[in-house]
Amino acid sequence: MTNHNFEQSLLRDALSDVARKERRSLLGISLFGITLSIGGMVPSKIPSLGIEFQLADHRILLLIVAFIVFYFIVAFIIYAASDYLSWKLEIKSWALEKAISENEEVYRNYCPQPGTPEEEIERDMGKLHKKNRLYFRLVAPTSIIRALFDFGLPIAVGAFALFLLVRAAAG
């Protein structure tokens, strides 16, 4: 077990292809819904289909888009929750293996060896830690920011679009 694998687990893409597609669809339909509700850009007719909308039809169209946004929010939450749990379990598993490995390493390193004073071992371990400290300090914040971007942003945008669509449909 190496630290490299643990840090890679923290930084890897937590979403599966299916969840990533749901995320993309959620963001796309949400932006469409936001455009419809804020910009008032509800089409009055679609000539290629021979459809003309009345005011009541505009409200129905907004509610249909709101329902689609709601569907994609639910779908994304279902897929993303599964991927998130899988990602966190992988991280916890690596953390446990890392802790076990470090405890074994500490035991081996601090057992007196002929000709190696404990102070030298402590000094060398301190140098190694200082050399890589910045890199390892950036892993956790980067992982958190990515999780918020991957999981939180689509849900927030979808909820905002849903709110605007329902409010616009209500009048």
Task: Render pLDDT for 38-51 as a digit per residue (tens, 0 to 9).
Answer: 887 776 776 776 77
Under the banding of pLDDT at 50, 70 and 90, the label for residue 34 is: very high
Q: Is the pLDDT of residue 95 over 80?
A: no
80 vs 98: which has the higher pLDDT: 80
Higher confidence at residue 4 or residue 103?
103
Residue range of the domain that includes 127: 3-170
The model carries a pTM of: 0.65
pLDDT at 67 > cutoff 80: yes
130 or 21: whose pLDDT is higher?
Answer: 21
Of the listed ranges 8-17, 65-74, 86-95, 127-136, the least confidently predicted one is: 127-136
Calculate the alpha carbon distances from 112 to 52, 104, 106, 147 in Å: 87, 15, 12, 44
Specify the number of domains making up the chain: 1
